[in-house]
Structure 1
C-alpha cells in the first residue's frame, strides 16, 4: 500500500500544479479518503510545507468560507554548495515547488574557509530572494573536491561542517564532488531514468562515483570512486598517491595537456584538435583509451545500466568519447539479448556537484518525483 511519503508527494504535486485548493478539491484530485487526507495535510502543515488560510470574501453570509490549502513559499528550501578549487557554486531548491536556481562566483584557491562560507551564504541569499532566515532551510548539502583532504585540513571535516551549520542555521551533510556529480547526472542528467550508474570525472583530479539502486555507494571507509588510482601503465609516471602509471597520470587535464604540449591550456588543445594536429589527437586518444579500459573493467565487475563521463576534459573535448566508447564496446561482456551498455557524456556541466549536494538531503521519493520531469533546473549563465 502507498505510504505517507507517497501521499505527501501526491498532495504537494497537486498544490504545485493547481494552486490553492480546498480540502474537498484536494481529496478529489488525489483520490484520498478524508481520514488519509487529514493525516497527510496535518503532517505537511506541521512541517511548514503547506499553509491553510481562510479567504477574506468581504461581508459574510451564512457559514464560514472554506479553508484553502497552499504551498508555503518560504519553507522547505534545501541548498547544495560546491566548494570547488577556484569557484563556489550554490544550488537552491524549494522542495514544495520543486524548482531549482543556481549561482556561482570565483574564489581564490587559497581563500580561508570562513571567507568561502561567507561567499556561499551571500550567493544563497541571492537565490532565495533575501528569505534566508532561521527556520527556512531544511538543510545544506556540501560538495568538496576531496573529502579526505577536507578532513585533514586545519579546518577538519567536523569543524568545517560545524562552521557551515552555524552560518546557515541548519543541518549539514558533506560528500565528494565526483560522487555528487554522479548522483546529479542520475537524477537530472545523462543517466536520468537509470538506477545503477557508473560515473567517471576527468578533470585536474580523476575520480568518479557509483550509484546503485538509486543511492550513492561510499565503501567501508568513505573512499569509493578513486578510479584515478587504478593502474593503467605498470611502471609508468609517478602518481601523487605513491603509485606509478595510475589513470590520473594519463587522463587528468594536466596529463593530457603535458602529453600534447607542456605550455598548452585547454583552449589551446581544443584549437589544435580543430586544426587536426596529430599530437593533440594522440594525447586525447591515449587518455580516452585508458579511461575506456578502466570503465570496461568496472562495468564488467559492477554491471551498471549506464556509464557517464564528465569533468573538464569531457566537456571541452567531445572527441574524447570516441575511444572511450570503442573500448567499452570491445571489452564489456554482454549476455544473450542484453542491450548494449548506454555510454553518455555528462550533461550538467559545472553545477553537477552542487546539484548532487541538494539530493544529499532529500528522500528517495523526492528523487523519483524529480525524475518525472517536473523539476525546473535553471543553470546560471
Structure 2
C-alpha cells in the first residue's frame, strides 16, 4: 500500500520501525534497553517492533561475548543485517558514469566508472550504469535488496530538462529528456525509488561526510572537470538553495568580456578553468593525461595552469569572503595537477581574501576521486548524514 494510503496506526508503526533502524545505523549494535532509552518507546511497543524487524531479517540479534555474560538471561545486542538492504549511487557526469553501492550497515560494497562519448543518449547512459552496477562486488550485488537509487546529474535539479552535453535527446519524439523521465528510466531498470540532485553538490556532501573535510562545519567545495561546479556546507548542513541553484561557482564571472559560456553569459569561470578551456589554451594539447604528464618540462603548460589557478583563486576568495568556510576543497580531474595548480590558487586566495582571513586559509585536495558524486548520491537514499538534517528533499519526480 502506498504510504499516503496507510492508516494512522500503520504510519505510526512504520515511523517507530524507521526510528529503531536509524538508531542502529547511527550507533551500531545496541541492546533493547539502550534502544528503549534512545527511542522513548514503551517496553511493550519496542519489543513488538524489534520482533517484527528480526523476523523480517532487517535486524539480527546476537548474544554478548562469554566474558560479558552475567547472572540471569544474557543481554542480546541488536544490529542491522548487512544483507538486508542496499543503496546505489550513480553520478552521470558529462563524459562518464560513476557508480557506488553500500549495504544497510553503510559498508561500501564497491564502486566503478566508465567513460563515454560526449552527447551519449540517456537510455544508453542508463544502460551503462546498469552494467557497471551489475559488476559491483564481483557481480554478487543483489538488486532485489535495493532500498533506493540516488542520482547525480549535471546542472540545476529543479524540473529543468536534462539533455546530455552535446544535445543528444533520449526521447523518441525528439524532445529533451526531463529529470522525471530520467527517473522513470532508472526506476524501470532498478525497480526502486529514485532521488536526483546536482552531482557536484553531492560530491561536496561526500567530501564533508567521508572525505577531505569530514567533520568540518563550514566547507566550500569546487570541482574542476569538463564542467566547473561545487557545493557548500554551512553550519554543518549541506546547502541546496531555494531553487536547487546553490554551488554554481562555475558561472561566476572570472574574465569580464571573455568567452561565451554554455550558460549564455560571457567570461564564466568554466570558460577559463574547465578541462576543455585549459587544453584549448595550450596549443597541441587534446588530452588531459598528456597535458599533466608534460607539466614538469613544459613552461607553457605550467603558465596556462597558473593562469587558470589564479582565476580559480580569485573566484574562491570572493565566495570565501561571503561564506567564511573552515576548509576549501578542490577536486576534479584538473586537481590532479597538484602543486602546479594548487600553488597559484592559494596565491590568488591570499591576495584577494580579507587580511584577517589569510592566516586561516585551509585549501585541501579532494580525497574521494571519481566516486565522490556517487557516494554523495547514496547519502540521499540513506538519509543518515547529519549534513542533511536541514537539507530539503530533492524535488519529487514522476515515477518515484
The bucket for the TM-score relative to the shorter chain is 0.7 to 0.9
The 2-side partners of 1:77 and 1:329 are apart by 44
Q: CA deviation at 1:12?
A: 5.0
Two-structure CA RMSD over aligned residues (Å): 3.5
Q: Is the 8 A contact 1:270 1:317 kept in 2?
A: no
The 2-side partners of 1:249 and 1:15 are apart by 47
Q: CA deviation at 1:228?
A: 1.5
Q: CA deviation at 1:363?
A: 2.4
The 1-side partners of 2:119 and 2:257 are apart by 34
Q: 1:187 to 1:97 in 2, by over 3 A?
A: closer
Q: Alignment partner for residue 303 of structure 1, among 292, 301, 324?
A: 324
1:82 aligns with 2:82: no
The 1-side partners of 2:386 and 2:217 are apart by 14
Q: Is the 8 A contact 1:285 1:320 kept in 2?
A: yes
What SS does structure 2 have at the residue aligned with 1:260? coil
Q: CA deviation at 1:199?
A: 0.9
Name the structure 2 match of 1:253: 275
TM-score (norm 2): 0.75
1:171 aligns with 2:193: yes
The 2-side partners of 1:88 and 1:246 are apart by 25
Q: 1:119 to 1:197 in 2, by over 3 A?
A: same
The 2-side partners of 1:43 and 1:330 are apart by 61
Q: Within 5 Å, give how 1:105-184 maps onto structure 2.
A: 105-127=114-136, 129-134=139-144, 136-147=145-156, 150-151=161-162, 153=169, 154-184=176-206
The 2-side partners of 1:65 and 1:345 are apart by 48
Q: CA deviation at 1:362?
A: 2.1
Q: Alignment partner for residue 81 of structure 2, among 72, 95, 100?
A: 72
Q: Is the 8 A contact 2:87 2:148 kept in 1?
A: yes
Q: CA deviation at 1:263?
A: 3.7
The 1-side partners of 2:197 and 2:86 are apart by 19
Q: Is the 8 A contact 1:14 1:30 kept in 2?
A: no
What SS does structure 2 have at the residue aligned with 1:190? coil
Name the structure 2 match of 1:325: 346
Name the structure 2 match of 1:344: 364
The 1-side partners of 2:74 and 2:80 are apart by 19
Name the structure 1 match of 2:241: 219
What SS does structure 1 have at the residue aligned with 2:232? strand
Name the structure 1 match of 2:7: none
Q: Within 5 Å, give how 1:167-316 maps onto structure 2.
A: 167-275=189-297, 277-316=298-337
Paired residue total? 346
Q: 1:30 to 1:323 in 2, by over 3 A?
A: same
Moved more, 216-225 or 188-197: 216-225
The 1-side partners of 2:364 and 2:76 are apart by 49
Name the structure 1 match of 2:173: none
Q: CA deviation at 1:124?
A: 2.2
Q: Alignment partner for residue 376 of structure 2, among 343, 346, 356?
A: 356
Q: Is the 8 A contact 1:144 1:177 kept in 2?
A: yes
What SS does structure 2 have at the residue aligned with 1:297? helix
Gaps of 5+ in 2: 1-15, 64-72, 164-168, 170-175, 389-400
Q: CA deviation at 1:157?
A: 0.9
The 1-side partners of 2:28 and 2:238 are apart by 31
Gaps of 5+ in 1: 17-22, 55-63, 369-381
The 1-side partners of 2:239 and 2:27 are apart by 33
What SS does structure 2 have at the residue aligned with 1:282? helix
The 2-side partners of 1:40 and 1:329 are apart by 56
The 2-side partners of 1:340 and 1:40 are apart by 49
Q: CA deviation at 1:328?
A: 2.0
Q: CA deviation at 1:131?
A: 4.6
What whole-Å deviation, never above 9, does each CA across 1:21-73 have from its counterpart, x for those lacking one?
xx9xx35787959939637735754885314599xxxxxxxxx9998855423
Q: 1:110 to 1:90 in 2, by over 3 A?
A: same
The 2-side partners of 1:37 and 1:130 are apart by 34
